[in-house]
Amino acid sequence: MHKGVGREHGKPSTFAFGRTEHRSGIDTAVHRHRTPAPGALIFYFLMDSHVLFGISVQGPYSPDAPRERHFPGVLESAIAARDAGFDFITTGQEYLTPGPAIYTLAAIPLLARLAADLPGMRIMTGVYLVPLDHPLRLVNDFATLDTISGGRLDIGMGLAYRKPEFENFGVDIKTRGRRFDEAIDVMRMLFTQDLVTYEGQFFKLHEARSRARAIQRPHPPFWIGGYSAAAVRRAAERGDGWYPGAFAELSVLKDQVALYRKTISDLGKPGQGQLMVLRFTWIDEDRKKAQQLAKDHAEGPHRNYVATGLRESLAEYKSRPWLSGHDLFVENWFAGNPDDIYEQIKLYIEVVRPDRFNFRVSVDPSAHADAHKAVRLLGREVLPRARKFAASLAAAAR
């Protein structure tokens, strides 16, 4: 029996998602993407002109890096994003990774500390591995974080996929999808009801309540991560936004966005779903330098996915014909000088109509100075133009 009983905290309200010349040779590569995905046009007329831009602030640290520099480096990245005019920051939650040891800080306490130095910016878990945790504890922690930040939290949630993480937490990886769905439903109950009695396959609650209450009503927005068809449907059915992974090629993403928005429309809630695009980004005044950095470092993140079986082998990946030309910087990565990055963002705005862009500007654990330079360059040379273009596109549709 599945049930949730109790008095609601208050009536649901609309989420406040917003903040309290030269194509470099990519024209031939992007031409085929210029036609919006089926289903995108309906959402286009509903799209707010305020596309938000964020930075993923936590890069991994290697074992030989000074431990006392880990948090200051993350804080400096967040402050650089603030000073450059970004709208939000994200940081993920990982427990075990394949390959050489790398270190990251826990997302919830880290965001609680960073929020104090980021007035007016939203903060986001991007993403938290919900199937490895209990919804009662998560709601208490997220409600606390939303209160500490003054109601600026977005909850990014992911399915988790690394087998060692499930084994070490004692969770059957075969149940992760069903466990995730149930956890989301229970979290929503705990956020919106005073007392919850619930009996499901994985969680049982009797007159349970969170001791902390979120400021945002009915709860901080739920962003569901993933880029499979099941993840797209889950985001439409159970989330307030969809956060596809960084490895979803634009040609694939276009079709997934159509599925996402069609599902939302079929559920009787057109215009309610938000979309965030995540991209690894290499930017420099020197185009060739930026693109070479991308080629030098892009294999690292992909290797992690290959090790888990989520992606094809590295040899198969390298054999893709578009990897040898400009398509690399359209399908998967943002790389180039400020003009190039603007054109790539502009293309994504035209094709998939995102509400947010999230940039990860470095995968090198020791490259904080380079990351800060990239953040400043994005804020100074790219974001003003991208915001202006998004606003003009939305205004033209009214």
CATH of the domain at 69: 3.20.20.30
| Percentages (nearest 5) of helix, strand, coil residues in the chain | 45, 15, 35
Burial tier of 110 (Cβ tally within 10 Å: 0-12, 13-18, 19+): buried
User: Token pair of 398, please?
Assistant: 């009214």
In a domain, 147, yes or no: yes
341 Cβ neighbours under 8 A, 6+ residues apart:
281, 283, 334, 335, 378, 382
C-alpha pair distances (Å), 302 with each of 249, 315, 364: 13, 11, 14
Q: Do residues 269 and 240 make contact, with C-beta atoms less than 8 angstroms apart? A: no
Count CA atoms closer than 13 A to 211's CA, side-chain side.
2
Between β-strands 334-336 and 153-158, what pairing exists: parallel, antiparallel or unpaired?
unpaired
pLDDT of residue 97: 73
- Any idea which residue has 């502009």 for tokens? 346
Kind plus residue range of the DSSP H or E element containing 314: helix 314-318
In a domain, 18, yes or no: no
Say whether 258 sits in a helix, a strand or coil. helix
Distance CA 308, CA 396 (A): 45
Distance CA 128, CA 92 (A): 6
The residue length of the chain stands at 398
Say whether 368 sits in a helix, a strand or coil. helix
- Amino acid at residue number 147: T
pLDDT of residue 5: 43
Cis amide prior to 232 (ω within 30 degrees): no
Distance CA 300, CA 19 (A): 33
- List the beta bridge partners of residue 21: none
This prediction has a pTM of: 0.84
Domain range spanning residue 208? 27-397
Between β-strands 204-208 and 196-199, what pairing exists: parallel, antiparallel or unpaired?
antiparallel
Sign of CA pseudo-dihedral 135, 137, 140, 146: negative
Burial tier of 212 (Cβ tally within 10 Å: 0-12, 13-18, 19+): middle
Phi, psi of 181 (to 5 degrees): -60, -45
Number of domains in the chain: 1
pLDDT in tens, the chain (398 residues): 444 444 344 333 334 444 443 333 333 344 444 444 433 333 333 345 589 999 999 766 777 778 888 899 899 999 999 999 999 999 988 888 766 667 789 999 999 999 999 999 999 999 999 999 999 999 999 999 999 999 999 999 999 888 889 999 999 999 999 999 999 999 999 999 999 999 999 999 999 999 999 999 999 999 999 988 999 999 999 999 999 988 778 888 999 999 999 999 999 987 789 999 999 999 999 999 988 888 777 665 555 555 555 544 445 545 554 444 445 555 678 999 999 999 999 999 999 999 999 999 865 555 677 888 999 999 999 999 999 999 998 888 77
In a domain, 6, yes or no: no
In a domain, 102, yes or no: yes
Distance CA 343, CA 357 (A): 14
C-alpha pair distances (Å), 8 with each of 194, 258, 343: 6, 34, 46
Distance CA 143, CA 219 (A): 8
In a domain, 2, yes or no: no
DSSP 316-346: HHHT-GGGGSTTHHHHT-EEESHHHHHHHHH
Distance CA 243, CA 360 (A): 14
DSSP state for residue 151 in the 8-state scheme: S
In a domain, 16, yes or no: no
In a domain, 346, yes or no: yes
pLDDT of residue 32: 44
pLDDT of residue 47: 43
Angle at 137 between CA 136 and CA 140, to 5 degrees: 90
In a domain, 250, yes or no: yes
DSSP 3-55: ---S-BSS-------S-----TT-HHHHGGG-SPPTTHHHHHHH--S--EEEE
Q: DSSP E strands: which ranges in the chain?
A: 52-56, 88-91, 122-129, 153-158, 196-199, 204-208, 222-225, 241-243, 274-283, 334-336, 356-360
